């Protein structure tokens, strides 16, 4: 017969470093979602401003394409 052991993880208290990691990752996630919200909100506004000659759906696609090209070119640029 095997002995039953108490759950060793039940009384585990978080260390200061673990709290710091949780707070830092939570703040990073909040900032990233806020950035995503701002981009999503501004995408339709900027699409209307810069691509006003086409309908709104094409303007949004053009804006997303433009942003993708800027990000791609920034990644392709060698750092000094």
pLDDT for the residue numbered 19: 94
11-20 pLDDT per residue, tens:
778 899 999 9
* CA distance linking residue 36 with residue 28, whole number of Å: 12
pTM, entire model: 0.49
**Count of beta carbons in the 10 Å neighbourhood of residue 47:** 21
Confidence band for 45, pLDDT divided at 50, 70 and 90: confident
pLDDT for the residue numbered 10: 65
Q: Are 60 and 44 in contact (CB under 8 A)?
A: yes
Angle value at C-alpha 33, between 48 and 69, nearest 5 degrees = 50
* CA distance linking residue 59 with residue 21, whole number of Å: 41
Is the pLDDT at 22 greater than 70? The verdict is yes
Tally DSSP H helices, then E strands, for the chain. 2, 0
Is the pLDDT at 2 greater than 60? The verdict is no
């Amino acid at each position: 017969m095997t002995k039953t052991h108490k759950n060793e993880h039940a009384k585990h208290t978080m260390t200061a470093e673990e709290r710091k990691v949780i707070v830092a990752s939570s703040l990073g996630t909040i900032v990233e979602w806020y950035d995503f919200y701002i981009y999503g909100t501004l995408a339709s506004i900027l699409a209307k401003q810069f691509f006003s000659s086409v309908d709104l759906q094409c303007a949004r696609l053009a804006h997303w394409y433009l942003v993708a090209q800027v990000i791609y070119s920034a990644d392709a640029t060698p750092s000094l």
